[in-house]
Amino acid sequence: MTQPNDGAFRIIETMRGGADGLVHLDRHLARLRRSCAAFDIQLNAPLLDDLLASIPPNGLRRVRFTVDLNGHIDMICPEVAPITGPWTVALSPTRLNSADPWLQIKTTNRALYDTARASLPATIDEWIFENEHGALCEGTITNIFVQKDGQLLTPPRTNGLLPGILRETLLAQGAAQEAQLRPDDLLQAEAFFVGNSLRGLIPAVLR
């Protein structure tokens, strides 16, 4: 991909930290390197190592790295509260374009998601996006998982979505498989979840 002409542009990588260390660290670092390579960014590896070593080991932490076009890395790692109860989700009126390559790399070029989250009604925790064909894609900060016949199903990345690390891990472990899903599948499922590597699988209900 062509480097954007935007000094504020950043690659983003977010993971879960805590007493047991950083969850799926190797997968997160591999994705971070792939994302940087896509924009021909030379990652400052010694700085990354120093930042990783500085993360406090206590509490549940949202560890977020941002990388600029020069390879400089910034990090924040605030403590976050555990999620309680299921999330209420709704279908977003916005459709994603499955051919948009920006959907598959986590960057600050995410106004679509930020605008959608800002528009969430008080009673809704997450939007669910469809693409131009009416197929399910993802949430604003989560991937989608539908349980049918005891098997977790998740939309393929070709639908237009960010392939999250939780999703990648479940697919690699054989705990989930890709399948085309539509809104009716949320209603007919044994259960469905939204999730990411920070929060894990979150039970969801459709409103």
What pLDDT, in 10s, does the model give residues 50-107?
999 999 999 999 999 999 999 999 999 999 998 877 999 999 999 999 999 999 999 9
- Residues forming a β-bridge with 64: 14, 76
Residue ranges of the chain that CATH labels 3.30.470.10: 11-76
Looking at residue 172, what is its pLDDT?
98
CATH superfamily, domain 87-206, is D-amino Acid Aminotransferase, subunit A, domain 2 (3.20.10.10)
Give the residue from 58, 57, 91, 61 showing the smallest Cα distance to 75: 61
Is the CB of residue 197 less than 8 Å from the CB of residue 23?
A: yes
CATH number for the region 11-76 comes to 3.30.470.10
- Name the stretches of the chain with pLDDT < 50: none
Residue ranges of the chain that CATH labels 3.20.10.10: 87-206
Residue whose entry in the numeric block shows the structure tokens 């599948």: 185
pTM comes to 0.94
